[in-house]
Amino acid sequence: MKFVHIADMHFDIPFTSLNSKENLSDKRRLEQRSVFKKIIEYIKENNIEYLFIAGDLYEHEYVRKSTIEYIINLFKEIPNTKIFIAPGNHDPYIRNSYYERYDFGKNVKIFNSYWVEKYEDENFNIYGMAFTEFYMNRTPLEQIQLTDKDKVNILITHCDLNGSKDKDGMSYNPILESKLKEIGFDYVAMGHIHKNNLENKNKIYYPGSPISLGFDELGDHGMIVGDITKESFSMQFVKLDDRKFEEIELKVDNLYSKEDLIEKILSLDLDKNNLYKIILIGKRNFEINTREIVRIVSVDNILKIKNSTTLGYDVNELAKQQNLKGMFIKEVIDMYEKGLCTEEEYQKAIEIGLEVM
């Protein structure tokens, strides 16, 4: 069996983190479409027999009818490929969802139950289940018993491997890797985590999202392509996203003005296809207003500048000086120690005051 395994496409996600640059979120949504078309073209060119989509194909809250029709029309281009979809927490199989209302094609199997379903082929058994609401605190996966271990047994699921509850006390189909291994699947096609885990030795894989959705998803993004029989298994990761989100640390210790910092940022060697967050580190010698710096720099692919610096002044030494600076520093320290200002206000007061003086 030759297969492609993808997950977490998140069609029509708002890309709110990209709104700082005009039209970039719209461009990124177009790039989602382009990447999905790449997947379909790869399947056609390589005669892939199975496509596994492990959830979050689209955003239930935002997806448009035109996007669903776009997906269905692409599925029609691969009529000889059997497509299996296990809906996730962002595209659950719920009443009046697009999964329920639309015919995705004769070659498409959409798992539509909380309980695990089984699809039987001559040499393969494919198990899958659906999120039928936006959370799943208990999993039915642990109840699975393989009925025919002479066949290749595959599980397609959207789940949180070795996961726990989030800050709101909710879970997303948590299951232990040890339990999946004990059940004895020959391959587990998972979705939910947007970073791949290709180092896994138990054939229990997240492919990661095909296209990076933000700065919490650094590195390459793509799909898993595999070939499996009962006797053999091979796989490769195929990169799909031409852009990367990257973070660059920039030391400011030897910079003494806003102009110095801007010149330093503009001198960075950046790949024009990638999107960047600049993280300022070290000891700063002047007040840094990151919003102002981003606006002045005005480089299209620098989306964020984060200030992770600390004060470059030795305030205790300055406070000992018998002059206006010393008096000012002692006054600010006294206010901070009395709780009359926050840490951020304390640092800003020192920076602005010393710069003026």
pLDDT band, residue 178 (cuts 50/70/90)? very high
User: Which candidate, 187, 226, 199, 208, places its Cα nearest to that of 51?
Assistant: 226
Alpha-carbon distances of 216 from 195, 212, 277, rounded to whole Å: 9, 9, 11
Looking at 157-166, 253-262, 277-286, which range is the least confident one? 157-166
Q: Return d(Cα 292, Cα 168) in angstroms, integer.
A: 35
**Domain over 2-239 is classified CATH 3.60.21.10:** yes
User: Which candidate, 53, 100, 101, 46, places its Cα nearest to that of 75?
Assistant: 53
pLDDT over threshold 90, residue 236: yes
Neighbours of 84 (CB within 10 A): 23
Per residue in 120-176, pLDDT (tens digit) is 988 899 999 999 999 998 888 888 999 899 999 999 999 999 887 676 678 899 999
pTM: 0.86
Domain boundaries of the chain, sorted by first residue: 2-239, 245-356
Query: Does an H or E element contain 82, and which?
Result: strand 82-85
Query: Does an H or E element contain 29, and which?
Result: helix 24-45
Looking at 83-87, 274-278, 323-327, which range is the least confident one? 323-327
Q: What's the mean per-residue pLDDT of the chain?
A: 92
User: Which candidate, 258, 259, 266, 260, places its Cα nearest to that of 289?
Assistant: 258
pLDDT at 234: 95
Per residue in 38-61, pLDDT (tens digit) is 999 999 999 999 999 999 999 999
pLDDT at 285: 84
